[in-house]
């Protein structure tokens, strides 16, 4: 009887353990396979032309220059708009309003914005910018991306400022430093690498975003840095080219996907390294 129970328990444990091993194996293998296929297909289409030529019409060779430039331009503007707003809001929540009701409400709403469907953000910016302006534009795309940047930066700024030891603040106050200066010269400096990490993660997040650009920046087959006109971007080009029946376009889509993935991974790794050295020191 006891032996039977003992054996049953052992069997069940062996089964569960095996399932956990298998799940990890399958999960990691599946995710690795995605990366392997991506690198294989992406590298086979990689050439200098990808970075120097425009997106081609179907059936001819070309590159992704206009899409790359568009993506970089919109990302830079989105960060330029989103970072200050996000940092200031995060500063309020961690410094001035740490114990206020407003802060906890903003924290809750911010967390929801953080994982809100990005296509809804696209619809929102379409309503408030594209409709009044009367046409799609690069600046609308940048604003849509900025709306995605803000919650990321708010979250990391607040978290990082919370980690700054209170003794630093008290020391600053004891020599008569007003709060605004204490925040700018002491708290920001102590939390700097963390905040930079947050910004890097925000860049990583938006550099692959497609849905909010579909009907704000639209797409543009030609080189353009006119923010008042439709603008091309890597993710949207990948979307369009991958679904097309033309082989050249599909190849470029894979190459574009590789570029996006490598930059996202590089950004995340740099961000991780920054926080790691901070913890070590």
Partner 1 sequence: MVVDVTWQGARVGAQDAAERANALRKLRLADVLFHAVTRSAAIFVLLLLGGVMVALLLGALPALTTFGFDFVTTQSWNPVTEKFGALAPIYGTLVTSLIAMAVAVPFGLLIAMFLTELCPMWARRPIGIAIELLAGIPSIIYGIWGLFVLAPFLQQYVQPALIATFGEVPVLSSLFAGPPYGIGVLTAGLILAIMVLPFITSISRDVFDAVPPVLKEAAYGLGCSTWEVMRHVVLPYTRVGVIGGVMLGLGRALGETMAVTFVIGNAHKISSSLLAPGTTISATIANEFTEAVGDLYTSSLIALGLILFVITFIVLAIARYLLLRIERKAG
How far out from the chain centre does Cα 1 lie?
A: 58
For residue 54 the two structure tokens come to 């425009």
Using the rule CB under 8 A, is 55 a contact of partner 1? no
Using the rule CB under 8 A, is 261 a contact of partner 1? yes
Residues 111 to 140 in contact with partner 1, rule: CB under 8 A:
111-113, 115-121, 123-124, 126-128
**Segment lying near partner 1 (by CB under 8 A), choices 32-40, 58-66, 159-167, 189-197:** 32-40
Using the rule CB under 8 A, is 31 a contact of partner 1? yes
Residue 222: C-alpha distances to residues 207, 248, 279 (Å): 20, 17, 46
For residue 118 the two structure tokens come to 């990005």
- Nearer CB in complex with partner 1: 43/52: 43
Residues 80 to 109 in contact with partner 1, rule: CB under 8 A:
85-86, 88-89, 91-93, 95-97, 102-103, 105-106, 108-109
What number of chain residues touch partner 1 (CB under 8 A)?
Answer: 94
Neighbours of 278 (CB within 10 A): 17
Using the rule CB under 8 A, is 265 a contact of partner 1? yes
**Cβ neighbours for 60, distance < 8 A, ≥ 6 positions apart:** 248
Using the rule CB under 8 A, is 218 a contact of partner 1? yes
Residues 170 to 209 in contact with partner 1, rule: CB under 8 A:
176-181, 183-184, 201, 204-205, 207-209
CB of 56 to partner 1, least distance (A): 19
Using the rule CB under 8 A, is 74 a contact of partner 1? no
Smallest Cα–Cα separation from 93: which of 33, 157, 181? 157
Neighbours of 147 (CB within 10 A): 21
Query: Is residue 116 helix, strand or coil?
Result: coil
């Amino acid at each position: 009887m006891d032996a039977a129970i003992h054996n049953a328990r052992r069997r069940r444990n062996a089964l569960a353990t095996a399932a956990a091993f298998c799940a990890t194996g399958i999960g990691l293998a599946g995710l690795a396979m995605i990366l392997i296929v991506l690198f294989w297909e992406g590298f086979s289409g990689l050439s200098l032309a990808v970075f120097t030529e425009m997106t081609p019409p179907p059936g001819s060779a070309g590159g992704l220059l206009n899409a790359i430039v568009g993506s970089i331009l919109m990302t830079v503007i989105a960060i330029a708009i989103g970072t200050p707003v996000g940092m200031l809001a995060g500063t309020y929540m961690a410094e001035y309003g740490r114990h206020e009701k407003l802060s906890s409400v903003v924290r809750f709403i911010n967390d929801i914005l953080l994982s809100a469907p990005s296509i809804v953000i696209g619809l929102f910016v379409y309503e408030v910018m594209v409709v009044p302006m009367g046409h799609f534009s690069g600046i609308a795309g940048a604003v849509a991306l900025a709306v995605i940047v803000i919650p990321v930066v708010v979250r990391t700024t607040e978290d990082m400022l919370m980690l700054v030891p209170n003794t630093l603040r008290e020391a600053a106050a004891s020599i008569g430093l007003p709060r605004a200066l204490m925040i700018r010269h002491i708290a920001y400096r102590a939390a700097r690498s963390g905040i930079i990490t947050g910004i890097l993660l925000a860049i990583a997040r938006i550099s692959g975003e497609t849905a909010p650009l579909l009907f704000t920046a639209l797409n543009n087959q030609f080189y353009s840095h006119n923010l008042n006109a439709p603008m091309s971007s890597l993710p949207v080009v990948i979307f369009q080219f991958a679904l097309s029946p033309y082989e050249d376009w599909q190849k470029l889509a894979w190459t574009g996907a590789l570029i996006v993935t490598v930059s996202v991974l590089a950004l995340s790794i740099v961000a991780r390294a920054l926080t790691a050295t901070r913890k070590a020191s």
